[in-house]
Each structure stands twice: as C-alpha cells, then as structure tokens.
Structure 1
Amino acid sequence: MSDRLNVRSLRVRKVHSLRTFLWLARGWKDFTSTPWVGVSHGLLMGLFGALLLWQAWDRFWVLAGAFSGFLLVAPILSTGLYAVSRALLRGERASFATVWQVWASLDARLVRFGLLLTALGTGWVVTSAALITLGLQPPATTPDDFLRRVVLATDPGLFELWLVVGGAMAAPVFASSVVAIPLLVDRQVGVQQAILTSWSAVAANPVCMSLWAFLVMLLTLVGLGTCLLGLMIVIPVLGHATWHAYRDLVVREAV
C-alpha cells in the first residue's frame, strides 16, 4: 500500500512548443520508412470507422459519441507503431513482426490501460447520446440533421454544451495517455507511474501539449473528412509522431 502511495513521476523536460511540428516531421519519416505497416494500421481504423458509419448512420446520437469515443481508444491501438519507431531509432529492422511482437505479448499493463480507455470511451458514447437525445426533440438522426439542427442552430446552447462536456472528458484522457502508452511500450514501469509521468509532461509544457492536442484533432478531422481515406496516412503519422513526443518529453536517464 505504501509503495503505491510513493510512486513518483519519471523526470520530464520542457521543450519548445514548435517541436510539435518536428514530431510530425519525424512521424512522416518513420511512416515513409515502413509505409505498409503504417497504411495497414490506418486501413484497419478506417474500416472500423466505416463500420460505425454503416451501423449508425441513421442514429447519429450514437454515431457522434462512437466516433469521438473511438478516438479516445485509438492510442492503445497504435502500440505497434510505437514499437516500429523504437526499432527505427535503434537502427533495427522494422516490419510487421515488430508490431506482432508487441501485440502478441498481451502485456497486462497495456491491457489494463486499454480496458480503462475503452470504459472511458463508452462513457462518452452514452453521455453524448444522452445530450443529443434529451436536448433535442426529435433527436438528430443523420449527420446532416446534426449539422443543421445542432451545429448551425439559431439558438446556441446544445452544441456548445456538447463540446464542453466532450472536452472535459477528453482532456484528462489525453493528459493521462499522451506519454503513458509509449512509455509502457518502451519501459518496465507501472501504469500509475506512466500516467503520473504523462501528467507531469503536460503540466511542464502546457502550451506545447495544447498545440499538440489541437494538431491531433485537426489532422484526425482531415482524415475523417476525406471519407476516412485520409486515416490511412493520418493515423500512422500521428502514431509515430507520438513516439517522438514521448522521447522528447521524458528524460531517458530517469529509469
């Protein structure tokens, strides 16, 4: 019990806010070094997004939350990309075998974190559905309906509330996972220590990490806005870039 209470964050460093663009550049370089690995990750997530569209197109109160909830869980699905970036950084050969090695390990720490993110994502799906169905009568049923009656509504309130609640739920998830998941892939630390380290990195670099969150959201929207095809590039580039963000933010000698 006392050992858990004494868990401390690993040391983190402050970085310039514009390093976010360097992370993207490095992410692009890793993507072009192993394009098929990256495209496969993006394709799987794009197909999952297409499945969501097919299943819930006329039930937008579910679709809106499901998509944003999926984005909360996406970082845990990028663990293979982190492993690829680590291998490339070490000068090792990176391939699908590198990804499989991480996935097949069934690391209990990553499984626990993934279940936690899934629970939080599910919670947001339910919350989003409740806001849209209870705050709008009759409920918005299609993306066009949501855009017309919620986003572009003459009486503001519901869309702003939806954004605020979504942001309030997403912000702590982002702060808890942005560094924690690649850290768990790279080092033998506990989940609690990884989360504390992630929060420390965000607290030490509020402007930088806010910009990074904005870029992640913007690029993801671009991927979604291209009929999901852009996700085949956006997802792997962001995954590789996240690895480089972790490497920049967490002091290596802290182990």
Structure 2
Amino acid sequence: MALTPVFPVHPPLVSLPARVVPLSSPVQWLTLGWRDLRQCGWLSLAHGAFLAAFGLALMATAYRHFWLLAGAISGFLVVAPVLATSLYAMSRAIEHGVPVRWQLLRDTWLSWQQSRFAESGGYWCLVRFGILLALAGTGWVLTSAALITLLAPAPVNMPTDFLRHVVLAEDSTLFALWLALGGVLAAPIFASSIVAMPLLLDRRTNLFQAVLTSWRVVLANPGPMAVWASLIMLLVSIGFATGLLGLIVLIPLLGHASWHAYRSLVDASALPERPRG
C-alpha cells in the first residue's frame, strides 16, 4: 500500500482585530492577575521562587564579571514572556474552568515536541520565538558592552564601576546615550511580544501572525501600552531592589496579568483554539 506523504499544515493568515482599551486597563490586568495568583497558589509562586533563586545564584557567580551579569539580566528580561508560558496556561485554564494542576504545566511545556513536525502553527513556534528573543537580548548586551568599553572614562568590570563611571559620572552624556540606545532596541522587542506568546499558546497560528498582531495592538493603543510598559519596568525594578525576593510574587503576577492583557486587547475568535490541558 502506498504511503501518503505528510506535509506541514499551514494555518490560514487571518487579520485579527485589535481592541482599543482605556488608559486604566493595565491596572485592571494587574488586579485580575492577582486574583489568578491567589487561586493558583504555590504553582504560581514556584515560578517566581525558581527565577529568584536562579537570579541570586547568577549574581553570586557573575558579580565580578559585569558584562556577564548584565547579559544574563538583560536576557532574562527579554525572554520573560517565554518563561511565563505556563503562567498564561494557568490563567487560561481558570478562565475556562479547567483545574489547575501540575499536569497542566507539564503538558504545556512538553506540547511543542508533539507538534514540531506536524504543523507550522504548532507549539514549536513558541520555542522559535524564544530563540529570537534570546538572540535580540544577546545583540543588546554586545552593543551595550561595545558602547561602554569605547566611551567610558575608565574600565568597567564590576557593577560598582558602572555606577561610578557611567551612572554617577559628572558628564552624564554616556549614561543618557546608553539609556536612549536601550530604549530604541527594547521598543520593537516589547511591541513584538506584548501579546504574541499568549496568542501562540491560545490559538493555532504562526509566529508571523502573532508578532503582526502584537504590533497592531501597540499601534491601536499607544497610551495604555506606554502605561503597561512603565508598570512592568516599575515592578521588575522593585523586584531587583528587594534583592530579587520580590520577584517571587511579581513574576507570576505579571505573567497572569499579561494573559488578561492579551484577552482584553485581541479578538482571536477567528482562529481555532489549542487543546486546554
């Protein structure tokens, strides 16, 4: 009997409308995220505890190698939407009345293997997006290191050197340039990922459509997106200011809130759903 070759099934490219939301919406997303965090309990907090412990170990190891430390922190912030995938899955399960258990998280992280060769819109696209974000983070670290190395008045090898010679320097031009360059590079990453990961988790679509939808959301809601980005930066800064201990709560809070941001900003009903655990 002849075998019929199996080719990847490409999901149709559908134009997903972006909803326009009020300026205060990010506060509502955080409120809903807090509700989900309380309902999921230790499963959510375990994500924050793991990342906080990993960050503390990283800081202890790389403290005297500033660019390694900076690269690790920058990479962590860039790929955070990927690391929060199971937090999105938990909020999605709550929304649909599915029990939130350990098995849900296991299935979420292993589902990409089952669809790697089956369809271009399978879970494998989440892994590809994570790789792209990691490469973007690496590019920023290399660019930043080159800028500081060329323009700093003294060698920068430790965090205290960066604080003394760049942040607190009498001539603040270098620090302003460093911040501006970081903003220019971070803006397209934020615009590309604001709803892309939750959309890839929730619906059968491809990476191009998810990123395109994310950009459409940002263009339709510049004010709320600026508020949301500011809140994320503020909460992450608080987490780092508390010696990373605050991240135990803040990481799952932002992960759950990001799911509600996606649900508020995108009408994805035209795309088929993925299985819910």
Mapped partners of 1:35, 1:137: distance in 2: 49
1:87 alignment partner AA = A
Whether contact under 8 Å (1:34, 1:94) holds in the other structure is yes
Provide the residue aligned with 1:10 in structure 2.
16
Cα deviation, residue 8, structure 1: 5.1
Whether contact under 8 Å (1:201, 1:250) holds in the other structure is yes
Mapped partners of 1:241, 1:9: distance in 2: 24
Provide the residue aligned with 2:238 in structure 1.
222
Provide the residue aligned with 2:4 in structure 1.
none
**Could you say what the CA RMSD is over the residues aligned between the two structures, in angstroms?**
1.6
Provide the residue aligned with 2:119 in structure 1.
none
Residue 25 (structure 1) aligned with residue 31 (structure 2): yes
2:142 alignment partner AA = V
Residue 70 (structure 1) aligned with residue 76 (structure 2): yes
Provide the residue aligned with 1:250 in structure 2.
266
Provide the residue aligned with 2:168 in structure 1.
152
Residue correspondence of structure 1 range 54-133 to structure 2 within 5 A: 54-106=60-112, 107-133=123-149
Q: Any stretches of 5+ residues in structure 2 without a counterpart?
A: 1-9, 113-122, 272-277
After alignment, is 50-59 or 18-27 more displaced?
Answer: 50-59
SS in 2 for 1:254: coil
Q: Kindly report structure 1 stretches of 4+ aligned residues shifted beyond 3 Å.
A: 6-9
Q: Summarize deviations over 1:129-174 as a string: whole Å, max 9, x none.
A: 2222222143222222222221111101111111111111111111
Cα deviation, residue 7, structure 1: 4.1
Mapped partners of 1:165, 1:47: distance in 2: 30
After alignment, is 205-214 or 55-64 more displaced?
Answer: 55-64
Identity of aligned residues (%): 51
TM-score by length of 2: 0.86
Q: Summarize deviations over 1:176-218 as a string: whole Å, max 9, x none.
A: 0110100000000111000000000010000100110110011
Provide the residue aligned with 2:253 in structure 1.
237
Mapped partners of 1:201, 1:207: distance in 2: 11
Whether contact under 8 Å (1:62, 1:128) holds in the other structure is no
Q: Summarize deviations over 1:78-135 as a string: whole Å, max 9, x none.
A: 0000000000011121122211111011221111101111111111121122222222
After alignment, is 48-57 or 244-253 more displaced?
Answer: 48-57
Larger radius of gyration: 2
Whether contact under 8 Å (1:79, 1:181) holds in the other structure is yes
Number of residue pairs aligned between Structure 1 and Structure 2? 251
Provide the residue aligned with 1:38 in structure 2.
44
Write 1 or 2 for the structure with the bigger share of helix: 1
Provide the residue aligned with 1:164 in structure 2.
180
Whether contact under 8 Å (2:87, 2:256) holds in the other structure is yes
Whether contact under 8 Å (1:223, 1:231) holds in the other structure is yes
Mapped partners of 2:69, 2:54: distance in 1: 12
Provide the residue aligned with 1:203 in structure 2.
219
Whether contact under 8 Å (2:44, 2:87) holds in the other structure is yes
2:40 alignment partner AA = T
Whether contact under 8 Å (1:11, 1:254) holds in the other structure is no
Whether contact under 8 Å (1:9, 1:196) holds in the other structure is no
1:53 alignment partner AA = M
Whether contact under 8 Å (2:191, 2:214) holds in the other structure is yes
Cα deviation, residue 9, structure 1: 3.7
Cα deviation, residue 66, structure 1: 2.7
Mapped partners of 2:83, 2:149: distance in 1: 30
SS in 1 for 2:269: helix
